[in-house]
Amino acid sequence: MKNDANVAIEIVKAPTSKIDSVDFENLSFGHIFTDHMMVCDYENGAWKRPKIVPYGPITLEPAAKVFHYGQAVFEGMKAYKDKDDKIWMFRPLENFKRINKSSSRMAIPEIPEEYFMPALEELVKLEKDWIKKGFGNSLYIRPFVIATEAGVSASPSKNYKFMIICSPAKSYYTGEVRVQFSERFSRAADGGVGSAKAAGNYGAQFYPTGLANAEGFQQIIWTDASTHEFLEEAGTMNIFFRINDTLITAPTNDRILDGVTRKSIIKMAEENNINVEVRKVAVKEIIEAANNGTLKEIFGTGTAAVINPIAGFGYQGKKYELPKLTDSYASFLKDALMKIQYNLAEDKFDWRYLVE
């Protein structure tokens, strides 16, 4: 589905490009940024004309409310280049809808579609040389909104800044990942902001994740805040469990993010006659399956990695290793999804979005 609205985007091009100084074969995820960024300010009750300007620092008042009350939301998405140099995005309207859902929960004004999509497309087109061809190469895109009004009164900001920055990316691989089932900490609580992509959700994860790192785990699988009996998300990813030949994942709610990759994987699994159950996943069920040999796989899903297989997990001081499969659902589904993203396979679901 294309957006036909024509919004005049003011473009100020960078005088020089830093692209020639970038080693595209050795990219560290999320540390190198392209030449331009999109900026759109909210003032006097309305969003102003979007601008694309050279990438660089911004100036904020020390009293800007984002620093004091955490009014900030973000998204993560990617653009890909196929063998014919066409540029594609993957389900960007889902990210647009979700940033507005997140914004609404954080009392931030929603962004009009006629601003979001044209500004996004213009920026991606301007940075097309940063998108390298080849399976695994992409342009990671980070839209975000922050509260900019100066004032330390505990109330929503009257002013905001919506921005989009871009970072070239290669295949995301972190080696073997082992996770710890959380017994104490939770990502979010009922009635909270877990379903919003709010910046504070992620900042709050760093401390318990650091504790898990010290015990030899790379990430945490969060449990529900009320009982710590049910598994919900892994780090910053949605989580899937394979027991025998059934994939199981927790339902989205106000604690769990409605992941674009998550729902795409569910659809693709069903399309390939893989049984999928969306339901609560009890810790004791996974422990029992690990002990009796029916737990075949655990994997996380998200924009950065698409699918990240998990090699093992720990709970209550005991460690469990998962079998190494040659026919894993994780590898099959990741390959199938990425072929759609890179225009290497039929897109039955109309998920690809051509940037023209």
Backbone angles phi, psi at 259, to 5 degrees: -70, 135
Rounded Cα gap, residues 341 and 225, in angstroms: 35
Q: Is the pLDDT assigned to residue 248 strictly greater than 60?
A: yes
On the question of pLDDT at 175 being above 80, the answer is no
Query: What is the reported pLDDT for 101?
Result: 97
Q: Are 38 and 51 in contact (CB under 8 A)?
A: yes
CA torsion angle 141 353 99 167 (round to 10):
0
**Percent over 70 (pLDDT), the chain:** 98
For residues 326-355, average pLDDT: 97
Question: What is the four-CA torsion angle of 19, 25, 26, 27, rounded to 10 degrees?
Answer: 50
Residues 129-140 have pLDDT tens digits of 999 999 999 999
Q: What is the largest CA-CA distance in the chain?
A: 63
- pLDDT tens sequence across 190-237: 899 999 999 999 999 999 999 999 999 999 999 999 999 999 999 889
Give tens-digit pLDDT for 28-45: 999 999 999 999 999 999
Question: The whole model's pTM is what?
Answer: 0.95
Closest CA to 230 of 262, 276, 186: 186
Q: By C-alpha distance, which of 89, 85, 76, 3 is closest to 340?
A: 89
Q: Which of 77, 167, 96, 93 is nearest to 127 (CA)?
A: 167
pLDDT of residue 254: 87
How far apart are the C-alpha atoms of 170 and 246, rounded to whole Å?
31
Q: Is the pLDDT of residue 114 over 70?
A: yes
* Domain edges within the chain: 10-171, 178-341
**Euclidean distance between CA atoms 117 and 92, whole angstroms:** 8
Q: What is the DSSP string of 40-72?
A: EEEETTEE---EEEE-------TTBHHHHH--E
Question: CB 65: neighbour CB atoms within 10 A?
Answer: 26
CA distance 286 to 22: 44
Give the pLDDT confidence of 296-317 residue by residue, as tens digits.
999 999 999 999 999 999 999 9
Neighbours of 157 (CB within 10 A): 22
Q: Which fold has domain 10-171?
A: D-amino Acid Aminotransferase; Chain A, domain 1 (3.30.470)
Burial of 140 by CB count in 10 Å (0-12 exposed, 13-18 middle, 19+ buried)?
buried
* Domain range 178-341, CATH architecture: Alpha-Beta Barrel (3.20)
Q: How many CB atoms lie within 10 A of CB 23?
A: 8
